[in-house]
Amino acid sequence: MKTESNPIIQSGSSISECEERGCNCEAGAPVRIVPGKPRKNTSTLSIGGFFRSFWQTPDLKIVLLGLSLLVLSLFADRLGLQQPWIMILQLLLLPLAGWSIFKDGFRTLFIKRRFNMNTLMSVASIGAVVLSETYEAIILLLLFTLSEALEGYIN
């Protein structure tokens, strides 16, 4: 397995030493790069690793349950359920599919008094429900949560 150096940056170097080592700092900050201990390269990404990290995150387990209920609601009319029951199933599915997004979005909005991406996605999903587009709201939340899972796995 490949190893790579883990450099340690220490203050106290002169600017000329910094230029000799190729620091490329624009401010000319007096830093010194000291080679660290070699470490194993763990940046290899795989599908198996993603699914292992997926199962370790409780919010993503809820998303999987939400996705299965979404599939059930898509075929509910073929199973004989009438439209009011399908709508109730979808409205119960919304908080389940986007719990982590709603929780973080509204906490950021009401406690920190800021907007973030989760706040905007929460508002978008509520707007889709108001426009009677609950399928789109659920899919929006599920895809956004899945994209956050992929981003978390890569980082």
Predicted confidence (pLDDT) per residue in 22-78, tens digit: 655 555 555 555 566 555 545 566 777 767 777 777 767 777 787 788 788 888 888
Residue ranges of domains in the chain: 3-40, 47-154
Residue 20's pLDDT band (boundaries 50, 70, 90)?
A: low
Alpha-carbon distance of 72 to 78, in angstroms, equals: 10
Quote helix, strand, coil % in the chain, to nearest 5. 60, 10, 30
Q: What percent of the chain has pLDDT over 90?
A: 8
User: Is the pLDDT at 17 greater than 80, yes or no?
Assistant: no
Q: Which of 55, 68, 144 is nearest to 105 (CA)?
A: 144
The pLDDT of residue 66: 77
Residue 155's pLDDT band (boundaries 50, 70, 90)?
A: confident
User: For the chain, first and last CA: distance in Å?
Assistant: 20
**Average pLDDT across the chain, whole number:** 74
pTM higher than the cut 0.85: no
Residue 1's pLDDT band (boundaries 50, 70, 90)?
A: very low
